[in-house]
Structure 1
Amino acid sequence: MDITVLSIFPKMFQALNESLIGKAQEKGLVNLDVVDFRDFTTDKQNHVDDAPYGGGAGMLLQAQPIYDAMDSVEKNKPGKKRVILLDPAGKTFNTKMARDFAKEDQLVFICGHYEGFDERVKDLVTDEVSIGDYILTGGELPTMNMIDATLRFVPGVLGNSFSAEDESFSHGLLEYPQYSRPADFRGKKVPEVLTSGNHEKIRVWRLKESLRKTLDRRPDLLENIELTDEEKKLIREIRSEN
């Protein structure tokens, strides 16, 4: 996968050279380039922002530097691209979106700053995306968030290919509780079923606990899931226990 980020703070993305994403780059599983679109401004003072027409607070990122930066990306990396604009008004990022992004050959992220973008920038993009109903100082941190979540679904990035499938939200539910050695730590014991060796009982316990956590903490998630008969039965059991 090839990822290009347009930002005026490229050094922030050095964090992605660490951990699993850094290793994925070393292995050639992902190529990550960060383009400083300030390099493409025609302003003598290297400004990439200006006051909005009609007045108002704050400054807007201008279309010209971003368009010229995208022209450069197209020239150096021809081919179909998914171009993602970080925008508080965009669709909320989730696991399904990360899976979809992971299927693409090329992703381009455009990071905003200041009060927003000249509206004409949006003609360049395929997706307008937000990470939640709150405002940050820029689009760099949300972009790193989305890159990290997306690359987990690129084959070979995770050491265990099943890890991404078992985690919270992968199937619409929160993840079940997990334990490691020792089996008894300061009187807090691992549930017996997990040490029983009975894989079917472990599977059912994990599913039930995943449903229990989702019911308790994020019941809204269940509204978008088509539950199996087994899951419906387990939910009835959980509710009868309360």
Structure 2
Amino acid sequence: MGLRGCFKVAEKDYFEISYKMIKKIEETQVDKIKEAGKLVADSLMKGGILHLFGTGHSHMLVEELFSRAGGLVAVNPILPSALMLHENAVRGTLLERVKGIAANILMTERVKKGEVLVIFSASGGNAVPVEMAEVGKSLGLKIVAITSIKHSRSKDARGRGRMLSELADVVIDNCGLPGDAALKVEGLPTNICATSTLSGVVIVQSIVFYAVKDMLRKGFKPDVFLSANLANSDEYNARLLKKYEGRIKM
């Protein structure tokens, strides 16, 4: 039974709204995605590492690029356990709003001037991702923000302080709605079905695609993982990981 057969949907189902969202990203954000890809390429060609950070459900987008089949080896996920939902959902949600945490987190990471830090935040307004961008910039990192511009500008958004979109070198709109959930259904006062994970995966994998294309065009062959489920992959990947010992989490 399709989604429409399960319950009455006011306007669209998740397939339809997902297609439209991805199409909008393709039509409006590709130049920004390519710009982010170039920043990543330039950094990696100079021996840099790509750093990723996100709180709440955005941590899934950080893991999306880490130790991934077909993914860049030079990736450092910044995932402090206190902010992870699977550790404690209520605590993690509260802590991402607390000022003064981001500096302590980033200072424990091995970052270098000129490297890229991608920050995922659908709302763009919580204290930790905003301060992570501020601290990152102070250390000379290039900041790429993946966020919802509609949410950032919404009168219903929590807090009206400085937004992530105001701090980044490159801002990519995930084209999501305020509050992330995108479908209105009859009988519920709240929307259902968030889209920021889906859009974030499309965006960040596209950044990798354009970064790799740019590096190859310039004669630089980036290190890319082979799937651990393919023959001879253990030996292949071990050789690559050896190059990044002490620089990425293994």
TM range (shorter): 0.3 to 0.5
- TM-score after normalising by structure 1: 0.35
Structure with the larger RCO, 1 or 2 (CA within 8 Å, 6+ apart)? 2
Higher Cα Rg, which structure: 1
Structure ranking higher in strand proportion: 1
- TM-score after normalising by structure 2: 0.34
